[in-house]
Amino acid sequence: MDAVQEQQLRKLVTVFLEENAKVNLSAFRTQEGCWIGNVLDSTAAVELFESFRIPNFEFRILDIGTGGGFPLLPLAICLPEAHLTGMDSTQKKIDAVNRIKDSLGLKNVNLICGRVEVIGHAKQYRETFDVVTARAVAEINVLLEYASPFVKVGGKIILWKSMNAEKEVSGSKKAQDALRCPFKESHIYDLPGDFGKRQLLIFEKKSPLSGTYPRAVGVPKKNPLK
């Protein structure tokens, strides 16, 4: 991140903490905790975007279950020419993120309120994103069903996970096959202090997805592919 981006990210922390005092968005309630646990954790993905070799200005990124706007808002600051969409089923969170986005003057973010299982069937969003991100939303086999309908063939899914995700990855083999999104690689990064090592898991969409997916609201979580 450059100096201007760092300044904007610091401002994000201040504005976010003000919103977090009114609407419960995140467990991080201090400047330091929010800076490391939300902002640096989100920006860990920025260098990956360069390796995807899609020109920055063409990127369409969707963050599902964006909650209070992470990783959505830090990515929007660090990738100013990309177009970012945040999606969440909770209206009050979407309203809060809209206010944060407006007070930061971010022009490259738009927000949608709804369930991914419903919006994943809408023609205007289906298989139209280069990258779909998700942090702290669900297990991998559920997340692949949430994310795959939105990703273009050749696009990527990036999931934020702890270092103990081995079982989750192996347990998602059936979902990877059915949803045409095999596991590609893991990107390990280090956060300061007690936060320690974490990883981004990257899946790549290999071919168009059957209209069967996503299944009806609640089904992916209640009856995950496995």
Question: Is 116 among the residues that bind ligand SAM (CB under 6 A)?
Answer: yes
Task: Please check whether residue 202 is in contact with residue 158, taking contact to mean a CB–CB distance below 8 angstroms.
Answer: yes
Our measurement of the distance from residue 32's CA atom to the centroid of its chain's CA atoms, rounded to an integer in Å, reads 22
Q: How far apart are CA 99 and CA 16, in angstroms?
A: 9
Question: Is 161 among the residues that bind ligand SAM (CB under 6 A)?
Answer: no
Nearest-CB residue for ligand SAM? 67
Question: Is 215 among the residues that bind ligand SAM (CB under 6 A)?
Answer: no
User: Looking at beta carbons only, is 66 or 141 nearer to ligand SAM?
Assistant: 66
Strand order in the sheet with 196-204: 109-113, 83-88, 60-64, 129-135, 151-161, 196-204, 183-191
DSSP conformation class of 36: I
- Which ranges in 127-222 belong to alpha helices (H)? 140-147, 166-170, 173-178, 219-222
Q: How far apart are CA 86 and CA 188, in angstroms?
A: 24
Stretch that binds ligand SAM, among 134-142, 165-173, 175-183, 190-198 (CB under 6 A): 134-142
Q: How far apart are CA 157 and CA 55, in angstroms?
A: 17
Determine the size of the site formed for ligand SAM (CB under 6 A): 17
Stretch that binds ligand SAM, among 13-21, 47-55, 67-75, 169-177 (CB under 6 A): 67-75
Q: How far apart are CA 70 and CA 63, in angstroms?
A: 8
- Which of 6, 23, 35, 90 is in the footprint of ligand SAM by CB under 6 A? 90
User: Looking at beta carbons only, is 136 or 188 nearer to ligand SAM?
Assistant: 136
Q: How far apart are CA 53 and CA 35, in angstroms?
A: 28
CB atoms within 10 A of CB 107: 10
- Which of 65, 120, 149, 224 is in the footprint of ligand SAM by CB under 6 A? 65
Stretch that binds ligand SAM, among 1-9, 115-123, 164-172, 183-191 (CB under 6 A): 115-123
Q: Minimum distance between the CB of residue 86 and ligand SAM, rounded to whole angstroms?
A: 9
Q: How far apart are CA 84 and CA 61, in angstroms?
A: 5
Question: Is 28 among the residues that bind ligand SAM (CB under 6 A)?
Answer: no
Question: Is 205 among the residues that bind ligand SAM (CB under 6 A)?
Answer: no
Question: Is 68 among the residues that bind ligand SAM (CB under 6 A)?
Answer: yes
Question: Is 5 among the residues that bind ligand SAM (CB under 6 A)?
Answer: no
User: Looking at beta carbons only, is 79 or 147 nearer to ligand SAM?
Assistant: 147
Question: Is 108 among the residues that bind ligand SAM (CB under 6 A)?
Answer: no
Residues that bind ligand SAM (CB under 6 A): 26, 65-68, 70, 87-90, 93, 115-117, 135-137
